[in-house]
Amino acid sequence: MLTAHDLRLFHKGRLYDAYDKLGAHCCDVDGASGVRFATWAPHAGAASVVGDFNDWDGRGHRMQRADAAGVWQLFVPGLRAGTQYKFEMRHERSGRIVIKTDPYARAFPEPTNTNAVVVEPPSFAWSDEAWLEGRARWSWQREPLNIYEVHLASWSASRGAPRYAELARELSAHARDLHFTHVELLPIFEHPLMESLGYLVTGYYAPTSRFGTPDEFRTFVDVLHRDGIGVILDWVPLHFPRDEWGLVEYDGGPLYERTDPAMAEHPNWRTLIFNYGRAEVRNFLLSNALYWLREFHVDGLRVDAVSSMLYLDDARSDSAWKRNPLGGRENLPAVKFLRELNQHLHDVAPHAFTVAEESTAWPKVSESPKRGGLGFSMKWNMGWANDTLAYMRRTWDERPANHRDLTFGRMYAHTEKFVLSLSHDEVSSLRRSLFEQMYGDEVHKLAGIRLLFAYQLTYPGKKLNFMGNEFAELHGWDVSRPLDWGLSSMPQHRGVTAALRDLNALYAASPALHAAEFDSDSFQWLEPDDAERSTIAFRRSFETQSLIIMLNFSPNPYERYVTGVPSGGSYRMLFNSDAPRYRGDAGDAQPAEVAVEAVAQPHKAFAYRLEIALPALAAVIFERVER
């Protein structure tokens, strides 16, 4: 049972393996096999375990208080894995009786069945040792990190009802073919409502039963790791749904949620916000993060809705929120929690990285807590995505006046360690697909997507693309509709896939594009101000490699496009988004056969000039050839 030391740590928020202490666990006590149950319910005057073994009658298996601070526990001999159970509690003051599922439940029979299920102690035979050994030496800051974001249910909707193992094989093959380094799963934790996309979590410690058991999800991670693909999970520590059998008023009164009714609910989603002021709630969340990293070998967590965690006035009118004790709008307990989370994860799981979805100008999101930061490894660059897509939606005539949308990002590029994310948020049914957001006719739209990918893969920052982007899905993503995989066999859409595949491979093979993405010296503007022609040019470099990238966002080809370069010599073309293999119009020459010489003639601030033919709505990439 829980020791006095365990209980002290839990109430201080430092029982980091709480998932092994609370919940339901098969064990032996005094020679008897059974199940040990424990839950935290400080407002309960009585608590019982109910389940299929006692006809859900709370009179049969009453729990005992383990301490005065509200932990209850009970050992029931004779129970086995597969037992379904809940906790019944009576509020000490009101006498209200509630029946709740276990917050630490590790499995559910199915998404709509709210009974927790006792599982066997983990005995999975992992075979990803080579991946784990390589991961221990891997430096995400200096290595390519290129993420394929996936909603498993809609990604597999056209495949019937696959299990985790089958999904792993198909997803791994697809990711490897396109040269992605990681897959990121929209929340995989148990959630009854498919329309929530997994963001209304009801089983924080349980992989969704839609695709199999917890061990089958371990198989999923194991297969991807063996194939050289990392696994990132979307994680949701902001809020939880109001399902009466869940965390809401867990022991008959507010517990996991904020105690102030005026501040408990998030106005946009009608969900309840976690109370980060309670040490036990912070413990629940921090232990949960560690659980997925340790028990499922996950490589990283993308933390959802960080902006909403940080601000007390998030989505609220001026009169609908209360200031913190210092008079500000910052949620101080949430800030403390995020710093503690990141610091502890980096200390005990240094291989893992955390990524913040944070859309405001909060400073030092990806800086160490010791230096006043929140401690995340990286932050989604939502400003880059917003500005770039806004620009791509503009007519040709509007683009020169809005050229700043392409260049403003350099003003803040090195304030954080960024991920350039073309995520599910950017291509939802409300915002429309990348194809729908490109201006022009079908040819222009597909050329625009190829150009957008080239800009993303050559601009500083790690990379992320949502499923369907790779073949230019025609319509915005809707969870109720499968991806239109038939498009991937159409020549024009195959051209988009081929372009992304080659760009991903080039990104992975080019230290200039990935080894110094967070260093300002790796980027140099060559032509930032050519608004009239809607072009930009820049240089990416690392050690001896120097790449020249020129991008034309207009429908006009430029037969003699000139840009200055810092060094003379020969420059070999590595990529042309308008090449025939991508269904472009750039003639028959293959990139490997194209080379140009830099002429020793000054151009603007540079001693040399490079002159090329720059196709319409296209990107070209050249590498300086060492002699």
Tokens standing for 436? Answer: 């729908």
Q: Are 445 and 438 in contact (CB under 8 A)?
A: yes
Catalytic residue among 304, 314, 340, 426: 304
> Nearest CA to 503 among 621, 351, 414?
621
> Nearest CA to 621 among 553, 550, 561, 565?
550
Residue 583 neighbours by CB under 8 Å, 6+ apart? 446, 491, 492, 494, 495
Catalytic residue among 234, 251, 357, 502: 357
Give the integer Cα–Cα distance in Å for 572 and 363. Answer: 41
Q: Are 291 and 302 in contact (CB under 8 A)?
A: no
Give the integer Cα–Cα distance in Å for 145 and 606. Answer: 32
Q: Backbone phi, then psi, for 344, in 5-degree steps? A: -70, -40
Q: Are 522 and 512 in contact (CB under 8 A)?
A: yes
CA 151 to chain centre: 11
Place of tokens 């620009």: 391
Torsional sign, CA 419, 424, 428, 434: positive
**3-state helix, strand and coil shares in percent for the chain, rounded to the nearest 5:** 30, 25, 45
Is 304 among the catalytic positions?
Answer: yes
Q: Are 223 and 187 in contact (CB under 8 A)?
A: no
Strand segments, DSSP code E, in 407-456 are 418-422
Give me the active site residues, please. Answer: 304, 357
